[in-house]
Structure 1
Amino acid sequence: MRRTALAPALFAAATLLTACAWTPTADSTPTTAAARAPTITADADGHSAGDGHDHDEATEHYHGPNVTWDANAEARVKDTAAKAMVLFGRPAVEEKTWFKDLEPMLAAEYKENARYIDPARVPFSTVTDGPAISREAQNPMTVTAAFDTNAGPWTMMLHRTGQDDPWLVTSISPVSAP
């Protein structure tokens, strides 16, 4: 989003500077200030040649953590998902205990929602299959875990912020019939 907003602003600024520096005269020759004005070409990040940034597209990189998908990541996310789903599907457990047990596996934004879930209203008590993990090919940080329960299919979203950071649950919901 920053790239999209910055490029037009830089273009407008360069155009304005060029217009101010070059004033046509009777013989249409540029003024001495315009002749000395440098041409600035900026990339999408607002960086220009000679600013100390590498601008080779082949070496452009994401400015986030270096996270990869491997067998360890898959084993960890499956373990977290399975534990969280079992803890979620306990309708007979008292509300405070239910939340306290589940809370360490929840992402901050989902904790607020889960705090108000009445476990007695969770319609399943047994996970019959899963988790089956799916993810986007280029995203090693977010996955969907699918489960079958004694009340039908459910899904869970999990996310991590770094390679060694824990997988945290961002949502748990029943699968709607098509």
Structure 2
Amino acid sequence: MRRTTFAPAVLAAAALLTACAGTPAASTPATTATAAPTITADADGHSTGDGHDHDEATEHYHGPNVTWDAGSEKRVKDTAAKAMTLFGRPTVEEKTWFKDLEPLLAAEYKEDARYIDPARVPFSTVTDGPAISREAQNPMTVTAAFDTDAGPWTIMLHRIGQDDPWLVTSISPVDAQ
């Protein structure tokens, strides 16, 4: 019984493979190759005659034009200092603590911060900072370092564009080494 149900499946698979393989090259008639039309595409993959304006002055925008300047540094320092001050309030009720801090947080960090018990934050006073550090070619992400009454802490901040707000992506103590 098993042989009869297995045999049709094998025959069907063999027929399918034979159909996919096609006929040998020797028995196929010769075809004349025609050259495909030449299409010139720009960096975005748009080609001439495709309905896109290809004027140099109106080329597609490839991303935010973000630079590091004195204004960027002042805004990130102000945001970091405010966030650190709001974070280090262990005597504030949890809902108030989060409500005050939430507008300064990036969406992905809000979920983590929502579950922080402010009573467990070990500092209540920022004693120095922020000291800002960033990668030379990255004007969108910085680390702000602070000294507190419970040791050093860092805040990571990020912005999407030049005029977008700096948002906190993490707040953490510096590991003693």
TM-score over 0.5 for the alignment?
A: yes
* Residues 62/104 of structure 1: CA separation in 2 closer, same or farther (3 Å cut): same
- TM-score w.r.t. structure 2 length? 0.71
| Counterpart residue number, 1:116 | 115
Once residues 62 and 43 of structure 2 are traced to their aligned partners in structure 1, the CA distance between those partners, rounded to angstroms, is 14
Deviation at 1:37, TM superposition (A): 2.6
**Structure 2 equivalent of residue 139 of structure 1:** 138
- Give the TM-score normalised by structure 1: 0.70
Cα drift, residue 66 of structure 1: 1.2
The one-letter code matched in structure 2 to 1:147 is F
Aligned-residue offset at 1:143: 0.6
- Letter of the 2:100 partner, please give it: D
Structure-1 separation of matches of 2:78 and 2:147: 16
Matches within 5 A, 1:126-165: 126-165=125-164
The Cα offsets for residues 103-144 of structure 1, whole Å up to 9 and x where unpaired, read as 111111111110110000001111111100011111111111
**Equivalence for 2:9:** none
Question: 1:73-88, aligned counterparts within 5 Å?
Answer: 73-88=72-87
Residue identity matched to 2:150: A
The structure that has the greater radius of gyration is 2
Displacement of 1:165: 1.0
DSSP 3-state at the match of 1:100: helix
Identity %: 84
Residues 16-31 of structure 1: pairs in structure 2 closer than 5 A? 31=32
Cα displacement (A) at 1:148: 0.7
Distance 2:170 2:60 in 1: 29
Structure 2 SS opposite 1:109 = helix
Cα separation, partners in 2 of 1:66 and 1:44, compared to 1, 3 Å: closer
| Number of equivalences | 145
Q: Which structure 1 residue ranges, 5 or more long, are not aligned?
A: 1-22, 55-59
> Unpaired runs of 5+ in structure 2?
1-27
1:40–1:48 CA contact under 8 A, matched in 2: no
Residues 25-75 of structure 1: per-residue CA shift (max 9 Å, x gap): 6xxxx93x34x2346787886x37757798xxxxx9972211111000000
Q: What are the Cα deviations for residues 62-103 of structure 1, in whole angstroms up to 9, with x where unaligned?
A: 722111110000000000000100110011111111111111
2:175 is the counterpart of 1:176: yes
After TM superposition, what 4+ stretches of structure 1 lie above 3 angstroms from structure 2? Answer: 38-45, 48-54
Cα RMSD of the aligned pairs, angstroms, is 2.8
